[in-house]
Amino acid sequence: MHIGLIGGIGPAATDFYYRRLISTFASRKAPLDLTIVHADTPTLLGHLASNDVTAQVAIYMMLAKRLVAAGAECVVVTSIAGHFCIEAFKAVSPLPVVDMIAEVGQAIAQRGFGRIGLLGTRTVMETRFYGGVSTATIVPPEGPELDDVHHAYVTMASSGVVTDEQRAVFNAVSQKLLDQGAQAIMLGGTDLVLAFNDSDTPFPLIDCAAIHADAVARLALA
């Protein structure tokens, strides 16, 4: 299957999806057929802040048509923030959409966590991952800490680089959520792969980008 990625939102997340798909297909000794089109991070964040579903879906439609012309057989939005309008996009997309929210919900159910802390953009945190998880309680940070995480995240996502200060914010808020009873931390922003790694993080992670990329690979290899 020819995979179509809507990338750029943000650049580090796009790189993560690309590398993970390359690695997965190489391990299966299977050829990877993939096209990436570019969406603009500041534009997406502006539409997210104003909840302008219509404008963002119009951008996705334009990009999806480019993917159709390139021969893609599915479309993947490589951004959790970008999923704020995913239901509206799925309704009109010319290609099947691999929905991250559904995939993450299934993965959480399989792992059996009951209470999960959440980091990401303001919208993702305030909506508790768009209300997409029914098998666990999703707990976002509160008050100034929610603002701190949002600001650190959108700055990091726009630049594609994590600073020591941003990393400190994510770690401190994660620890507080764990102290309050969270059993794992959900990386509710795809660019959080810059700040966290399964191999050296001392608490369980729900890595939404990894779950999504692996679901795309399973679909394409099936």
Q: Is the pLDDT of residue 163 over 90?
A: yes
Q: What is the pLDDT of residue 197?
A: 86
Q: Where in the chain is the domain with CATH 3.40.50.1860?
A: 2-100+210-221, 101-207
- In CATH, what number does 2-100+210-221 get? 3.40.50.1860
Tokens, residue 85:
């309008």
| CB within 8 Å of 90: residues ≥ 6 apart | 97, 99
> What pLDDT digit, counting tens, does each position of 40-80 carry?
999 999 999 999 999 999 999 999 999 999 999 999 999 99
Q: Following DSSP, what letter does each residue of 3-43 receive, concatenated? A: EEEEE-SSHHHHHHHHHHHHHHHHHTT---EEEEEE--HHH
- Region 148-160: mean pLDDT is 93
- How far is C-alpha 53 from the chain's CA centre? 17
Architecture of the domain delimited by 101-207: 3-Layer(aba) Sandwich (3.40)
* 197 in Cβ contact with 89 (< 8 Å): no
Q: Is the pLDDT of residue 104 over 90?
A: yes
pLDDT confidence band for 11 (50 / 70 / 90)? confident
Residue with tokens 């959900």: 186
- Region 116-128: mean pLDDT is 95
